[in-house]
Amino acid sequence: MLTHQFPDLEWLKRQANSSFADRKSMTGQSLPVDGWPNVIMNARAQEVVRDNIRGPLSLFSNVTGRSTVTAGKKRVTVSPDVLFITNPGQYYTLEIHEPRPAETANIHFGDEFSREALRAITLSPSQLLEESSTASIPNFFNRIVPAGPEYKYILNGLLTPGRTALQEEQDLYQLLVLVSQDEEQLQKTQDRVKATKSSTKEEIMKRMLQVTDYLYSQPEVNPDLEELARISCLSKFHFLRLFKIAFGQTPHQYITSIKVNRARTMLSTSNADVKAIATTLGYADASTFSRAFYRQLGLYPSQYRAQS
């Protein structure tokens, strides 16, 4: 269901806490089953606080502007270039405080839909033929995910009016495929961390993700090692070693990749000149930015824009 208006907050809290037991949508329509329905929230707002909502599996993103999402112990800034994942049953708070209206692209996956979709994604074809086969819904890391071309293509489709129910469900399913693939890669990243206990590996990964969330949500920053270590609650050389083991890159290399990928989007979708893009991404000047871009892609920004 695509909607362009936030529902009444108190009504939503009651419905979410009761798992939509009355099977009524925000428009009063009957829902086929209990639990959250699929909701695509494409609303515009300049000042809003949607606090302490018991949500379904969700992806928070924006078409324009920025919002802030809090879930558990995490509070992150969400922009058009990233998505943030929250889990079923997790309480979230969404805030928008912008000088101009921000446009949301928040995807709330229906409870039954996500269970069945993730079951199909998780089980093998032979297991899917066995009616007794079950698969528990994975608990995803609360984290920021870069909104690459595949994500953006699907999100654009979901925000297009007039789509059929079939098209919408196919796109929602494909989003869950992408999220599951990213989670699988993250589990492989976690497995590279040498620790005797799985709980230790998970804790280290959570600390590394605190750092990557910070870097993705603020691509203009140029933090030093002390600052990144502080975010991870580790000593700086312990952090440096674990980060390199987990991601196969130094923090500087990781930051440069984020900045260059953000620059690629800006070069392809805006008329901003190279100097303005360099400033936006925290580079001292256009020459430093151009050299970093060339080292990553083998093209200078002006060449990349011409090809795009």
Sheet holding 39-41, edge to edge: 2-3, 39-41, 106-108, 58-60, 82-86, 144-146
Asked if pLDDT for residue 12 goes beyond 70, the answer is yes
User: Region 46-54: what's the mean pLDDT?
Assistant: 94
- Which pLDDT does position 124 carry in this prediction? 65
Mean pLDDT of 159-173: 91
Q: Each residue of 88-121: pLDDT tens digit?
A: 999 999 999 999 999 999 999 999 999 889 888 8
Calculate mean pLDDT across residues 247-270: 89
- Cα 53 off chain centre by: 18
What pLDDT shows up at residue 138? 72
The model's confidence at residue 24, banded by pLDDT at 50, 70 and 90, is: confident
**Rounded Cα distance, 74 and 213, in Å:** 9
Give the pLDDT mean for 238-264: 90
Q: Which residues contact 89 (CB under 8 A, 6 or more apart)?
A: 54, 55
Query: For 21-44, what is the mean pLDDT?
Result: 89
Query: How confident is the model at residue 136, as a pLDDT?
Result: 61
Could you tell me the maximum CA-CA distance found in the chain, to the nearest angstrom? 61
Q: Quick one: pLDDT band at residue 50, thresholds 50, 70, 90?
A: very high
Q: Cα–Cα distance between 37 and 109 in angstroms, integer?
A: 7
* 82, 182 Cβ separation under 8 angstroms: no
Q: Is the pLDDT of residue 133 over 60?
A: no
- Residues 50-56 have a mean pLDDT of 95
Residue in the structure block whose two tokens are 């446009």 = 103
Categorize the per-residue pLDDT at 195 as very low, low, confident or very high, splitting at 50, 70 and 90: low
Q: Does pLDDT of 131 surpass 80?
A: no
The confidence score (pLDDT) of residue 48 equals 93
pLDDT at site 197: 75
So what's the pLDDT on residue 59? 96
Q: What average pLDDT does the segment 260-269 reach?
A: 87
The pLDDT of residue 134 is above 60: no
Res 135: pLDDT: 54
User: Looking at residues 211-227, what average pLDDT do you find?
Assistant: 90
Alpha carbon distance 104, 139 (integer Å): 24
The Cα-based distances of 255 to 11, 137, 156, 207, 214 in angstroms read 42, 32, 27, 17, 11
With a pLDDT cut of 70, the percent of the chain lying above it is 94
Q: Which amino acid, residue 241?
A: R
More reliable by pLDDT, 138 or 151:
151
Q: Say which residues have a Cβ less than 8 Å from residue 233's Cβ, sequence separation at least 6.
A: 207
Q: What is the mean pLDDT of residues 178-198?
A: 80
